[in-house]
Structures are given as structure tokens and as C-alpha cells.
Amino acid sequence: MSTSRGAGDAACTADLGAQYITLEAERAQPHRSFYEELLSHGILQQLTARIEGMVVKKGSCNYVAPQGISSVVKYYLKQSGADVFYEQHVTRISLRDGKWEVSRKTGPPELFDIVILTMPVPQILHLQGDIVNIINESQKQQLESVSYSSRYALGLFYEAGTRIDVPWAAQYITDNPCIRFISIDNKKRNIESPEIGSSVVVHTTVTFGSKYLDSDLTEVQQLILSHLERILPSLPKPSSIKCQKWRYSQKVAWQDLCKREGRISQQCHAPDPGCDHGAALSCARAPRQISHEKYTA
Ligand SMILES: Cc1cc2nc3c(=O)[nH]c(=O)nc-3n(C[C@H](O)[C@H](O)[C@H](O)COP(=O)(O)OP(=O)(O)OC[C@H]3O[C@@H](n4cnc5c(N)ncnc54)[C@H](O)[C@@H]3O)c2cc1C
């Protein structure tokens, strides 16, 4: 759920990960209150912009987050009243006198009554300490069966007034080995304004993501840009660019786990084979969750 800012203009933002949230008919009832709340606070808005090549399932409804997808998480964090500490890389979780001792990359370990993990499953399994021993063999097998595809995202940030002349807000690309999805992000989020620069988001195909997973980020960026130029030759030069690697992009085999665990789940169908995403949210035990039912990028 990440929203990035342009290097020279903090008001110019782009969602490099999740693009929109789809509420499917079968989940409309149990999840209605979440959507109503987020819609009434302007955190979500119905997606009205033109998305070419989008597969729309009957009875489903798509929503965008005008202030960026991270605003959904920020909204719930604010409501919780919790003190939030960012940039804390957890490395080890151990039991100490009936409490959880959490160690980080930097700083001393701290004790907690309850720990909720919402990171991608492989990252949970890589944690050190007692956490690995409290997961029994069967749970471990289930968790290990959750695998992820990888892909890259590119964010192009423009100065205010730069015109991006395309008739759509986003487009799924089906005939390019590198690029799967392009979005004029501010247009998609319905926040076009002469004062704020536009942003363009590009997602690669899963095949490209896997092939270049451990390549140099600058080289990957150049490759994506060269493909982008062929698809959109008249795209203006951006004032800044951000290239993001999503090692754990979409879940490939998670449905069984979520069903068995009886948690609120995400369901991601994608025209790009092997394009499902992230177990993290569905496996968290957070009391109030919004789920991302469908992702088609
Ligand atoms: C390219 C892309 C496009 C997507 N498009 C859509 C879409 O259109 N619609 C949709 O519904 N979903 C989409 N998704 C999926 C969506 O982003 C995820 O379902 C969602 O982000 C899951 O949220 P989360 O909070 O559970 O986990 P995440 O957003 O993955 O957050 C996990 C967090 O854990 C942190 N973390 C990991 N390891 C550690 C550690 N050791 N210590 C501390 N923190 C750690 C990470 O930094 C991260 O902030 C997309 C994903 C990608 C990558």
C-alpha cells in the first residue's frame, strides 16, 4: 500500500503498488460498512476514469483512493490512536518472560504483549527467534506454499502544467514483453489539477519481473523506459523517476491458506498469468480490515 512522491514536488504523488480496490458482489454485504465509512470520509471514491483493457466482473465495483492508496492505511492507523514508528526493520521475535521480545536492525529490542505481523509470508518465515518454533509443521507447510510473483513499477513525476495527451487514465498492455500496465495516476485517482504535476505509473509483466529480479535497478529502469517510449512515443520527459522492485508482488497460491484460516481474504484475478498478490493483509489478525478483493493489473 505504497504511495510515492516526486523528488522535486511533494504534491505530485503516484501509487506504485495497488491501483484500485475492487468490491466483488459476493463480498459486498459483509464488507459494506468498511466501504461506506471510507467513502463517507473521502478516502475512497468510485473509479470513474477510463481504464482500457480492464476485466470487469459482473456486479463488482472499483474504487480509487484520491489521496493515494496509503491513505487507507493511514486512516485506520489514525483511528486506532496508536503511536506509529516507521522504518523499523524487524529481524527477530522471541519469547521472554511471557512477553514478545522484538529485535530490530537498529536500536535495542523491545517487549510487547501482542505482535501482529502483516508482512509478506516469506519475510515472516525468514524472521529469527522463537517465532519459527511456535509455528507447527502443518502451519509451516501451509505458509511455505504461499508463493509470490515479482514485478517492477516505475513512477514518472511531471511538473505542473505538463500535458499528457492520451484518451485513457490507464491501460492494460497485452502485447509487450516488459510492460503490462500504464496509468496516468492522478487522472485515474480523479485529482487532475493545473497546480499539481501529473504522474505516470508503469507496471512490468511478471515474466519481466522474474527475469530481471536481481539485476541492477538503473539498468532495469532504462529497459522499462525504452519499452515505454515505443508504446507512448510522445510521452514528455519527466522531472523525476522512481523505480521500485516488488519482490513479493502478487500471491500465487494463497487461497487454501486463507480459507483454512477463515480470515478476510483478498482475491486477485489477473489476465497476466501468475499475477496474484500479497498474503500479508489477509493473514493479519487485525480486528478491522478492508480487503482488496480483486486486482487486475
Ligand atoms: C505492483 C502491484 C500492484 C498491485 N495492484 C493492486 C490493485 O490494483 N488492487 C489491489 O487490491 N491490490 C493490489 N496489489 C496488492 C496490494 O498492494 C496488497 O494486497 C497490499 O499492499 C497488501 O497490504 P498489506 O498491508 O497486507 O501488506 P504490504 O502493503 O505488503 O505491507 C507489508 C509491510 O511490511 C513491511 N515489512 C516487511 N518486512 C518487514 C520487517 N522485517 N520488519 C518490518 N516491516 C516489514 C513492508 O515494508 C511493508 O510496508 C498490488 C501489488 C503490487 C505489488
pLDDT digits (tens, 9 = 90+) for 179-223: 999 999 999 999 999 999 999 999 999 999 999 999 999 999 999
Identify whether residues 30 and 154 lie together within a single domain. Answer: yes
Does residue 89's CB lie within 6 angstroms of at least one atom of ligand 1? Answer: yes
| 282 CA: nearest ligand 1 atom | 26
Identify whether residues 241 and 99 lie together within a single domain. Answer: no
- The mean pLDDT of the chain is 86
Identify whether residues 161 and 67 lie together within a single domain. Answer: yes
Q: How far is the CA of 78 from the centre of ligand 1 (A)?
A: 19
Domains identified in the chain, total number? 2
For residue 275, pLDDT beyond 70: no
Kindly report, residue by residue over 71-86, the tens digit of the pLDDT. Answer: 999 999 999 999 999 9
Last residue of a domain, one of 146, 162, 184: 146
| 266 CA: nearest ligand 1 atom | 19
- For 224, the grid coordinates are 522499462
Domain residues for the domain of 219 are 3-79+147-251
Identify whether residues 240 and 188 lie together within a single domain. Answer: yes
Q: Judge whether 24 and 56 are in contact, CB under 8 Å.
A: no
Answer whether residue 117 is part of any domain.
yes
CATH number of the domain to which 115 belongs: 3.50.50.60
Answer whether residue 240 is part of any domain.
yes
pLDDT at 261: 44
Identify whether residues 13 and 109 lie together within a single domain. Answer: no
Answer whether residue 12 is part of any domain.
yes
Kindly report, residue by residue over 252-264, the tens digit of the pLDDT. Answer: 855 544 554 444 3
In DSSP terms, which residues pair with 62 in a beta bridge? 22
Answer whether residue 75 is part of any domain.
yes
pLDDT at 253: 58
- For 167, the grid coordinates are 484518451
State the pTM of this model. Answer: 0.86
Identify whether residues 60 and 160 lie together within a single domain. Answer: yes
Answer whether residue 176 is part of any domain.
yes
For residue 232, pLDDT beyond 80: yes
Kindly report, residue by residue over 29-86, the tens digit of the pLDDT. Answer: 999 999 999 999 999 999 999 999 999 889 999 999 999 999 999 999 999 999 999 9
Mutate to test the pocket of ligand 1, among 69, 277, 282, 291 (most ligand atoms within 8 A of CB): 277
Identify whether residues 128 and 66 lie together within a single domain. Answer: no
Answer whether residue 259 is part of any domain.
no
Residue 281: name the closest of 273, 295, 270 by CA.
Answer: 295
- Residue of the nearest CA to atom 36 in ligand 1? 119
Identify whether residues 151 and 139 lie together within a single domain. Answer: no
Identify whether residues 36 and 107 lie together within a single domain. Answer: no
Identify whether residues 158 and 126 lie together within a single domain. Answer: no
Answer whether residue 211 is part of any domain.
yes
Q: How far is the CA of 232 from the centre of ligand 1 (A)?
A: 28
Does residue 128's CB lie within 6 angstroms of at least one atom of ligand 1? Answer: no
Kindly report, residue by residue over 117-158, the tens digit of the pLDDT. Answer: 999 999 999 999 998 888 899 999 999 999 999 999 999 999
Last residue of a domain, one of 251, 271, 292: 251
Identify whether residues 52 and 151 lie together within a single domain. Answer: yes
